[in-house]
Amino acid sequence: MRWSQFYLFTTREVPSDAEVVSHRLMVRSGMIKKVASGVYSMLPLGWRSVRKLEAIVRRELEEAGAIELSMPTIQPAELWLESGRWQAYGKELLRVEDRHGREFCYAPTAEEVITDMVRHDVRSYKQLPFNLFQIQTKFRDEIRPRFGLMRGREFLMKDAYSFHAEGASLDATYEAMRAAYERIFAACGLEFAVVEADTGNIGGSDSHEFMVLARTGESEIVSADDGYAANTEKAVIGALAAPAPGAPQAMETVATPDCASIPDVATFLGVEPQQLLKTLVYTSETEELVAVAIRGDRDVNEIKLQNLLDVQHLSLADADVVARETGAPIGFIGPVGLRGARLLVDHSAKDLAHFVCGANEADAHLVGVNWGRDVELGETVDVLLADEGDPSPRSGAPMRKTRGIETGHIFKLGTKYSEALGCRFLDRNGKEQPMIMGCYGLGIGRTIAAAIEQNHDDDGIVWPTPLAPFELLLVALNPQDDEVVRIANDLYARFKSAGVDVLFDDRRERPGVKFKDADLIGVPVRLVVGKKGLGDGKLELSLRADREKHLIDVDAALERTMTALRA
């Protein structure tokens, strides 16, 4: 491609909403253009990276036995009413009405549509299993679209759905897809982690996320040397060492005026925060109040709690609600004599002895409290938020926290959608059964953005070759010079016929502009034809990754460049 004939305009202007580097660099390098909040055009340069990623995805999914199809982006409301998600999906679902007043939605995902298709086409266990995928535009009316392609409203996703007669068959496909995803991210040249994940509102049992590691990632991951890795939303924590018990004593009420926070109470009473019991009161759409008791130095993982309670909208209860229902102000709630709320005790708090907790009255705490002796332990749960250094549930090895960008997510759905939509088959005994399903998502645009998040420097993108829009940038540094033009044109023709994906910067621009643009768009290998070098019969070959310049003979240019491209 000749740059002078390409649609590629770099810019120094950084949009004011571009908070992360991939967003800034994609705009500045002319890969994407914003059309509306969370809605982007993929410009020709960006589209080339998308097409490369799609090719890798197709190759590896087909290798895993998946079959490509394409489903519409507009879906009828009836199917979503059948699955129950017309209501449950909430405001992320963009709803539209046609001229006849019929309701539709713009596809955020396609479980309903594909399950509807399969329930009409497939009757017998003999037709199972199969795994279908598409690479198709999705729309989710995200509450906070941001970070460019990372969290758009309209975005490209590869989604796959598998259908099975037996659980073992789902397990096999799930493993094949997991391996395919690992091959995809490795083939993209990305550093990634596979973690145990929460299943969110898609539903189902087993689930893994694929995280491209990057400091700016929205997701927090914990991992240990024993191989355990999980999203902190879901992470299980091994047994915590019990804190030293307080001095043995009978339970007693003490005045703690104005001490409504853990640090205040700890300082006032001269104890460590981990000898305190923190009690938080939550509410949800069910309006039941739930008091969660957790060790004073630790935090509640609200996603775990939400899943445990099986509710959609969890939040801390307002002060007036807490006061009205329990008779005590926030900050002074505790398990002893608690009323108006269901008590759950996190496992971090069950080994506390002679501990301090709220007395369920203003400006008072209880000291010397013991489970069993002074209050029933009751329902113990795991709603602990993982922290740096916590023991892994596998071996107790300390866990580290890192950040990542969720680029892929795979789920064992089970029969959630097949039961709701009546997608059944006849088993070997002629008995009707709901099909067992899996689903597998991969964000195309988000993966491109994540690749940039992971691979850039102050001057621009440093593409991993597999996702680079071009493999080679050939620069004619002085396009007014006949000799430069002749040699550059000749090389361009030869690279093209050798099948190299080459961008030829033949623009009439100053060398400084060309070098700046070259760094910005980040093509992995650069070959510069300049008047000065040609005087000595030399060209300049460099890699974007280290920018070390190698002077090479004109005659050896093709061969040396090909070697650099293959490295």
The residues binding ligand ATP (CB under 6 A) are: 109, 140, 142, 151-152, 155, 157, 200, 202, 406-409, 441, 443, 445-446
Q: Which is nearer to ligand ATP, 331 or 408 (CB)?
A: 408
What DSSP character marks residue 478? Answer: -
Residue 30 or 408 having the CB closest to ligand ATP: 408
Q: What angle do CA 473, 475, 476 make, to 5 degrees?
A: 155
Residue number with CB closer to ligand ATP (154 or 505):
154
**Shortest Cβ distance from residue 234 to ligand ATP (Å)?**
12
Least spacing, CB of residue 60 vs ligand ATP, in Å: 16
β 432-434/424-426 pair status: antiparallel
The residue (of 212 and 343) whose beta carbon lies closer to ligand ATP is: 212
Cβ proximity to ligand ATP: between 157 and 476 the closer is 157
CB of 414 to ligand ATP, least distance (A): 16
Measured at the CA of 147, the angle between CA 37 and CA 56, to 5 degrees, comes to: 105
- The kind and range of the H/E element at 493 are helix 482-497
Cβ distance 462 to 544 under 8 Å?
Answer: yes
Q: What is the largest CA-CA distance in the chain?
A: 97
Nearest-CB residue for ligand ATP = 443
Q: Which is nearer to ligand ATP, 60 or 471 (CB)?
A: 60
At residue 228, φ and ψ (nearest 5 deg) are: -70, 135
CB of 409 to ligand ATP, least distance (A): 3
CA–CA separation, 153 and 138 (whole Å):
8
Nearer CB in complex with ligand ATP: 110/472? 110
Write the single-letter amino acid at 115.
T
CB of residue 218 to ligand ATP, shortest distance in Å: 7
CB of 404 to ligand ATP, least distance (A): 11
Which of residues 124 and 137 has its CB atom nearest to ligand ATP in the complex? 137
Cα dihedral 73, 77, 80, 86 in deg (nearest 10): 110
With contact defined as beta carbons under 8 Å apart, do 366 and 358 qualify?
Answer: yes
Q: Give the residue with the Cβ less far from ligand ATP, 332 or 417.
A: 417
Pairwise CA distance, residues 276 & 273, whole Å: 5
Residues 316 and 331 sit within 8 Å (Cβ to Cβ): no
Residue 181 is classified by DSSP as H
Q: Which two tokens stand for residue 335?
A: 């398990």
How far is the C-alpha of 370 from the C-alpha of 377, rounded, in Å?
Answer: 9
The CB-of-370 to ligand ATP minimum distance in angstroms stands at: 41
- For residue 314, give every residue at least 6 positions away whose Cβ sits within 8 Å of its Cβ, in sequence order, or none: 282, 283, 284, 302, 305, 306
| Residue 210 C-beta: closest distance to ligand ATP, Å | 7
> And the tokens for 101?
């007043």
Which residue number, 125 or 139, has a Cβ lying nearer to ligand ATP?
A: 139
**Beta strands 472-476 and 525-529: pairing type?**
parallel
Nearer to ligand ATP, 406 or 471 (CB): 406
Closest by CA to 220, choosing from 465, 403, 494, 438, is 403
Minimum CB separation from ligand ATP for residue 209, in Å?
7
From 431, 390, 107, select the one nearest 239 (Cα to Cα): 390
Torsion angle, alpha carbons of 134, 139, 144, 149, to 10: 50
Tally: H helices and E strands in the chain: 15, 31
CB of 73 to ligand ATP, least distance (A): 15
CB of 184 to ligand ATP, least distance (A): 12
Q: Distance between terminal CA atoms of the chain?
A: 23
Nearer to ligand ATP by Cβ, of 40 and 355: the residue is 40
Cβ-contact 375, 336 below 8 angstroms: yes
State the minimum distance, in angstroms, from the CB of residue 443 to ligand ATP: 2
CB of 24 to ligand ATP, least distance (A): 17
Instruction: Tell me how far apart the alpha carbons of residues 477 and 511 are, in angstroms, rounded to a whole number.
Output: 6
Of residues 197 and 359, the one with the C-beta less far from ligand ATP: 197
Residue in the block written with tokens 């088993």: 427
Spatial distance between the Cα atoms of 186 and 511, rounded to a whole number of angstroms: 36
What's the min distance (Å) between Cβ of 286 and ligand ATP?
24
Please say which residue, 10 or 136, places its beta carbon nearer to ligand ATP: 136
- CA quadruple 449, 452, 453, 458: dihedral, nearest 10: -140
* DSSP for residue 251: -
